[in-house]
Amino acid sequence: MGHTTRRLLTGVLLVLAAGAGTVIAPGAAHAAGVRATIDVNSKLKVRAKPSLTAKVAGTLRDGQRINVTCSITGQSVRGKVRTTTLWDRLADGRYVSHAYVRTSGKIPVCKSAAPAPAPKPTPAPALTPAQFIAAAVPGAQQGWREYGVPASVTIAQAILESGWGRSGLSSVDRNYFGIKCQGGSYGPHATGCHVYRTTECDKAGKCFETSDAFRTYASMARSFRDHGHFLKNNKRYAPAFAHTKNANKFIEAVRKAGYATDPNYTAKVTNIMKKHDLYQYDTWK
């Protein structure tokens, strides 16, 4: 979930909670470096690289003592201790976010540079409105069959939020709804995560640089199906599914549940549905 009308690139609290991986035995990982203590609610995932999207290479428990060899700049994380872009490298080359580390010692900067970002996928060609709708229909209708989200709603939201597929997220990563990765997880329909540098502002108007990981897809259809999966599996949107055969009521219920802060969001979506006769693609008719 991210969306044009509800601040697409607004940061989400990224919590490194319990996850898969082997628990590292106390004191077994490192023999030298700056002494530190893990401060996390449950378990902290250890990563192969300084990013929430990197492979999980183990876990550390709350209160566990570690030795940090150096720190490197990576993906920004809001943790229990602090919000930071620093990641602490352990003696075996694995990383933990400094957002969950407490230490009184000064950690040196790693001499090696941060890993180079992966090459970006080839941007999708720009489509005319008619071409976009034609390409969108199969995935949107499959989303209806799997999850009960009206196809007309899915297509109209994609048009509004991706600018007819011309946004960076949609043209490069086939992400038409700004759905983010959560703790490195990208669900059953995405292929991975792409970290973007963004600027966020708090309620007091103070802005700062950070980064967020957004889901990447192999196709438009996969993104559209994930839109249905996202809505169906978030309890806050449950009331909308009482209106799976009424597109207008469905999108209004989704907005009221907090999908968009724009009070005119429902009108914008329904106007698109009417203008382009998207209701014809609702397969229950």
User: Which residues are registered as beta bridge partners of 71?
Assistant: 88, 109
Q: What angle separates helix 129-147 from helix 220-232, to the nearest 10 degrees?
A: 40
Whether residue 16 contacts residue 269, with contact meaning beta carbons closer than 8 Å, is answered with no
Question: Whose structure tokens read 């566990």?
Answer: 64
The mean per-residue pLDDT over the stretch 229-257 comes to 95
3-state SS class at 149? coil
Report which of 96, 98, 117 is spatially closest to residue 194, judged by C-alpha positions. 117
Q: Which residue has the tokens 């989704």?
A: 254
**Least confident window among 144-148, 162-166, 199-203:** 199-203
Calculate ∠ Cα 262-237-175, nearest 5°. 70
Question: What is the mean pLDDT of the segment spanning 253-257?
Answer: 95
Give residue 32's pLDDT band: very low, low, confident or very high (50, 70, 90).
Answer: low
Q: What is the pLDDT of residue 268?
A: 97
Q: Find, among 178, 213, 186, 216, the residue nearest to 52 by Cα.
A: 213
The per-residue pLDDT for 21 is 37
Q: Which pLDDT does position 123 carry in this prediction?
A: 67
Kindly tell me if the per-residue pLDDT of 193 is higher than 60.
yes
pTM for this predicted structure: 0.58
In tens, the pLDDT along 35-92 reads 999 999 888 999 988 888 888 889 999 999 999 999 988 887 888 888 888 899 998 8
| Confidence category of residue 16, pLDDT binned at 50, 70, 90 | very low
Say if CB 27 and CB 65 are below 8 A apart.
yes
What is the spatial distance between Cα 142 and Cα 169, in angstroms, rounded to a whole number?
Answer: 22
Please report the pLDDT score of residue 116 as a whole number: 46
Given this model, what pLDDT does residue 257 score?
A: 94
As annotated, the active-site residues are 200, 226
Measured CA to CA in angstroms, residue 263 lies from 5, 187, 191, 192 at distances of 9, 29, 33, 32
Q: Is 274 helix (H, G, I), strand (E, B) or coil?
A: helix
